[in-house]
Amino acid sequence: MRNSWLVLLFLLLSNLTYSQWVALDEGEYLVHHVWLYNDTVRMCETKVAEELYDYYQKERDHYFYRYAMDGKQIGDNRKSFVFSEQGRPVVRDLARKLETMARSETDRVEAALTYVQSLPYSYDSTSKGKDEYVRYPVETLVDGCGDCEDKSVLLAAILHEMNIGFVLLMAPDHMAVGVNCEPHNGATGFMFNGKKFYYAETTETDFKIGQVPDNVALARIEVLPCDETPVLIVKDVRFESQPALLFEKASCVLEMVLQNLGPCKITGLQIHVALVTKRRGERVLAEEYRELVDLPECKQRSEQISFKSLIKENSVLRVELSGDNIATQHFEYEMNYSHTRRY
């Protein structure tokens, strides 16, 4: 406690906007953060399990991260960083502590914004030794710094736990957050899906809700919606049929490698397979349906379905993947007479 008061005194005397220190104690990082909010010194302590922080360090190799960093688009490739399940309890605890400092919804946004703004800006090349490195919220809290992407992801994650609507705002080489709240007069906002989201700059202190930096004001800004809908992809497909005697059904096996890109667990996962011939009209030769086990975020799993069917000329294999919280996907593969088929 004595150290905390010394930090507060140091802030007041030196006219600084923040101070943060991290201590590792019995497998937990204790993140102590002190900053100025409404000309008042505020202090907040956040606990992050060392195991959780290490998990996100190792997740640098998972497929979603590589996919996002390749610049490819599957929906919004940054939402998995905002909504990542494992770190949400930590962000939720921080959000609740910030809420106690506010009297209105706008105050809650400002408390979160000033907290994130007070974290020092750091280029990835300086702090991580990489040209591009997007931090998960837990990493930004423990590292105590980040660039525009890292800080915007952290603010978005806090706003989500406060149940406040938000979007991500993309300008050339810059990211910010759009917040659905009631700001001061003259604030800059963007209409999206019938709602207005006000600009929130995370990289510099003293920027109010709706205040846009001069270097961004003239840029083209793209609104990126974020939701908790996970993205399922099929990484590999293999179909095999064993030789069969004339007029007998062949033993068929379909194997698919499924991966959940996040940002949360896929529930109610189902697969429907049908082998259909198009010769002399369309006819179903074989059909199989199965309910699959839930697939956690950023995980992959091989699923195998066996059935018996005649393999006829001009036949196709149709696959439907569906779930409680994913968009239904349809695939169709042309069949031939080779015993092993790989797609």
What CATH number is attached to the domain comprising 271?
Answer: 2.60.40.10
Does 17 have pLDDT greater than 70? no
Task: State pLDDT tens for residues 101-137.
Answer: 988 888 999 999 999 999 999 988 888 877 778 899 9
Structural domain total, the chain: 2
The CA distance from 242 to 273, in Å, is 18
Residue 158 and residue 36 in one domain? yes
130 falls within a domain: yes
Higher pLDDT: 40 or 1? It is: 40
Q: Mean pLDDT score of the chain, rounded to an integer?
A: 84
The CA distance from 84 to 80, in Å, is 5
Residue 245 and residue 135 in one domain? no
pLDDT of residue 71: 46
Task: State pLDDT tens for residues 296-314.
Answer: 987 889 999 998 887 766 7
Facing residues of 289 across strands? Answer: 272
pLDDT of residue 77: 61
pLDDT of residue 118: 94
From 113, 138, 162, the end of a domain falls on 162
Residue 17 and residue 147 in one domain? yes
Could you give the angle at which helices 148-161 and 105-118 cross, rounded to 10 degrees?
150
Does 240 have pLDDT greater than 80? yes
Does 170 have pLDDT greater than 60? yes
For residue 121, which of 148, 153, 143 has the smallest C-alpha distance?
A: 148
Q: What is the DSSP letter of 249?
A: P
The string over 37-71, giving b where at least 16 C-beta atoms fall within 10 Å of a residue's C-beta and e elsewhere, is: beeeebebebebbeebbeebeebeebbbbebbeee
pLDDT of residue 16: 56
Query: Cβ–Cβ contacts within 10 Å for residue 243, how many?
Result: 8
226 falls within a domain: no
Residue 118 and residue 236 in one domain? no
168 falls within a domain: no
Task: State pLDDT tens for residues 83-110.
Answer: 888 899 999 999 999 999 988 888 999 9
From 140, 162, 184, the end of a domain falls on 162
The CA distance from 290 to 271, in Å, is 5
pLDDT of residue 93: 97
Mean per-residue pLDDT, 191-204: 93
134 falls within a domain: yes
Residue 36 and residue 121 in one domain? yes
Residue 132 and residue 8 in one domain? yes
Domain extent for 298: 232-342
Does 342 have pLDDT greater than 50? no
Residue 20 and residue 151 in one domain? yes
Mean per-residue pLDDT, 222-247: 80
Which of helix, strand or coil describes residue 150? helix
Residue 17 and residue 131 in one domain? yes
**The sheet that has 340-342: what strands, in order across it?**
300-309, 250-260, 232-241, 340-342
Counting residues of the chain whose pLDDT is more than 70, the rounded percentage is: 84
Residue 243 and residue 132 in one domain? no
From 162, 184, 202, the end of a domain falls on 162
Mean per-residue pLDDT, 163-176: 92
Q: 45-49, 82-86, 324-328: which has the minimum mean pLDDT?
A: 82-86
243 falls within a domain: yes
326 falls within a domain: yes
333 falls within a domain: yes
Map tokens 């001069």 to a residue. Answer: 214
176 falls within a domain: no
